[in-house]
A and B are shown apart, each in its own frame.
Chain A
Amino acid sequence: MTTVSAAVTVSASGLTLRYGATRALDDVSLRLGRGVTGLLGPNGAGKTTLLRVLATSVPAASGAFTVLGHDPASAHGRQEVRRALGYLPQTPGFHPDFTPFEFVDYVAILKELTDRAARHREVRRVLDEVGLAEVRGKRIKKLSGGMRQRVALAAALVGDPGFLVLDEPTVGLDPEQRMRFRELIAQAGEGRTVLLSTHQTEDVAMLCHRVLVMAGGRVRFDGTPAELAARAAGRVWRSTARDPGAKAGWRTGTGGYRNVGDPPEGADLLEPTLEDGYLLTLDGDRGDRGDRGDRGDHGDRAEATA
Chain B
Amino acid sequence: MTWHVAEDELRAYARGELAPPLLWSADTHLTGCAVCRARLAEVWDPGALDAAWERLDAELDAPRPGPFERLLVRCGVADHTARLLAATPVLRRSWLTAVALLLVLSVLTAHGVHSDTFFLAVAPLLPLAGVALSYGPALDPTYEMTVVAPVHGFRLLMIRTVAVLAAVLGLSGLATLALPGYGLGALGWLLPALALTAAGLALTPRLGPVVAPSAVGGGWVVLLLAARVHQGGGAGALVPFTAAGQAVAAAVAALAAALLFAARDRFDQSHQTRQTHQSFRSAA
Contacts and interface: CB of A to CB of B under 8 A. Distances in A.
Interface of A: 19-20, 22, 24, 43-44, 48-49, 52, 55-59, 75, 78-79, 82-83, 85, 87, 89, 92-99, 101-102, 105-107, 109-112, 114, 116-117, 119-121, 124, 136-137, 155, 293
Nearest to B78: A114
A32 B4 CA distance: 63
Given A20-B277, A57-B272, A110-B150, 5 more contacts: A49-B280, A75-B268, A101-B62, A102-B65, A112-B150
Nearest to A119: B80
Which of B79, B148, B283: most chain A Cβ within 10 A?
B148
Q: Interface residue tally of chain B, by bracket?
A: 35 or more
B114 to A, nearest CB: 43
Contact of A44 (B143, B145, B272, B280): B280
Interface of B: 54-55, 58-59, 61-63, 65-66, 78-80, 83-84, 86-87, 140-152, 156, 265, 268-270, 272-273, 276-277, 280-281, 283-284
Contacts, number: 129
6 contacts: A22-B284, A85-B148, A97-B66, A106-B142, A112-B150, A116-B80
A188 B148 CA distance: 20
A80 to B, nearest CB: 8
Task: Give chain B's interface secondary structure class.
Answer: helix
B136 to A, nearest CB: 12
B80 to A, nearest CB: 4
Contacts of A116: 58-59, 79-80
B276 A49 contact: yes
B268 A78 contact: yes
B141 A82 contact: no
A110 B149 contact: yes
A69 B270 CA distance: 23
A101 B58 CA distance: 12
Nearest to A107: B145
Given A19-B276, A94-B142, A117-B58, A57 B269 contact: yes
Contacts of B61: 120, 124
B50 to A, nearest CB: 13
Nearest to A293: B284
Contacts of B277: 19-20, 22
Contacts of A87: 144-145, 148
A294 B122 CA distance: 50
A94 B150 CA distance: 19
A107 to B, nearest CB: 6
Contacts of B268: 75, 78
Nearest to A156: B145
A83 B150 CA distance: 6
Contacts of B149: 82, 107, 110-111
Given A22-B281, A109-B80, A124-B58, A95 B87 contact: yes
A40 to B, nearest CB: 15
Contacts of A102: 63, 65-66, 83, 86
A293 B79 CA distance: 49
A93 B143 CA distance: 8
A155 B148 CA distance: 13
Contacts of A58: 269-270, 272-273, 276
B150 A79 contact: yes
Contacts of A99: 63
A214 to B, nearest CB: 12
B164 to A, nearest CB: 16
B182 to A, nearest CB: 40
A55 B148 contact: yes
Contact of A93 (B59, B86, B144, B270): B144
Contacts of A109: 80, 83-84, 151
B141 A93 contact: yes
Contacts of B63: 99, 101-102, 136-137
Contacts of A49: 276, 280
Nearest to A138: B63
A229 to B, nearest CB: 27
Contact of A59 (B65, B269, B283): B269
Given A93-B143, A106-B84, A43 B148 contact: no
A85 B143 CA distance: 16
A101 B171 CA distance: 32
Given A95-B142, A112-B151, A106 B83 contact: yes
Nearest to A118: B58
A102 B68 CA distance: 13
A35 B57 CA distance: 34
Given A101-B62, A121-B58, A43 B150 contact: no
B80 A22 contact: no
Contact of B62 (A52, A96, A120, A155): A120
Contacts of B150: 79, 82-83, 110-112
A110 B145 contact: yes
Contacts of A293: 284
Which of A49, A98, A293: most chain B Cβ within 10 A?
A98
A89 B145 contact: yes
Nearest to B279: A48
Contacts of A92: 142, 144-145
Contacts of A110: 84, 145-146, 149-151, 156
A39 to B, nearest CB: 15
Contacts of B281: 19-20, 22
